[in-house]
Amino acid sequence: MKRVSIVGGGGNVGASAGLYLAERGIAEVLLVDVLEGVPQGKGLDLLQAGAIRGYDAKVEGTNRIEDIAGSDVVLVTAGLARKPGMSRTDLLQKNAEIVGGIATGIKTYAPNAIVVVVSNPLDIMTYHLRKITGFPPQRVMGMAGILDSARFRAFIAQALGVAVTDVQAMVLGGHGDSMVPLPRYSTVSGVPITELLDAATIERLVDRTRKGGGEIVALLKTGSAFYAPGASAVQMIEAVLLDSKRFAPAAAYLNGEYGLSDVYVGVPAVIGAKGVERIVELPLTESEKEALHRSAAEVKSGIAELG
């Protein structure tokens, strides 16, 4: 049985991901958190839920980072969540300290693992973790593209009154207000949404997608989204564990692709047992390419702040 460790597993995103993984039955799940008793309690709760939900996964909790030894995948969800009025970059320095410590633990105890990062600001934290671990870039990826695309898909489905499962969408760029939803590459059962919705409606949905995380933060008031982020991370983990070659947007390290270098940013990727196995370069219009470069510039600015 494969083994997945969720560092930050005592929080909402980590615990949600733990549940989704347990229900899939494809890995043992270890919840890791600094809060004494919390990952153990949530792990026990998830274990007991299996008797009702019909899964038989091994789920445990621990406060010891060294217990991640032998993990095939490490999911990093630890860090402070955004509060209303707080931007992702406001979290930068504090979460960099947290993620940096985790990166050292992963390098020491799980040196062969694939790493998926959810901690915000996501693209910057993914770069930061990869730098500290020294892992090959393809073994460290950020989650956000699937989440941002899922939000775009949900809004498109609402606007058209169709099943969200029939909608596919593509969102590139950093995980923030400068992300780049691509209506040309977003479809309903293969039909581009540009054939189904007028330009004003599409622009409204694009804008709502860019602000999708903030919308939930404003509604919750004491935290941020966790069901969809957890599900998005598990989709990536599943692609690694099953070597399914999933074609999806992910925060991946660019080395010349799309004219960008030495930065993590959301791009279409093929995800399999080796992590990000291939980056797919889509033909972009000049305005789309400019938007992607602006988004990447924001990520690079955050990376420079960390030094």
Domain of 49: which CATH number? Answer: 3.40.50.720
Position with higher pLDDT, 68 vs 85: 68
User: Do 151 and 135 share a structural domain?
Assistant: no
pLDDT of 287 above 80: yes
**Domain boundary residue among 117, 143, 169?**
143
Global pTM reads: 0.96
Domain of 50 in residue numbering reads as 2-143
Q: Domain end: 91, 108, 143, which one?
A: 143
Residue that finishes a domain, picked among 108, 143, 178: 143
Distance CA 291, CA 152 (A): 17
> Same structural domain for residues 71 and 135?
yes
pLDDT digits (tens, 9 = 90+) for 96-138: 999 999 999 999 999 999 999 999 999 999 999 999 999 999 9
pLDDT in tens, 67-84: 999 999 999 999 987 666
Options 42, 88, 175, 246, the catalytic residue: 175
Does one domain contain both 129 and 221?
no
Q: Give the strand order in the sheet containing 27-32.
A: 59-62, 27-32, 2-7, 73-76, 114-117, 140-142, 246-255, 261-272, 275-279
Residue 57: which pLDDT band, with cuts at 50, 70 and 90? very high
Task: Identify whether residues 74 and 198 lie together within a single domain.
Answer: no
| Whole-number pLDDT of residue 203 | 98
**Are residues 36 and 156 located together in one domain of the fold?**
no
Please give the tally of structural domains in the chain.
2
- Examine the residue annotation and report whether 175 is marked as an active-site residue of this protein: yes
Number of H helices, E strands in the chain: 9, 14
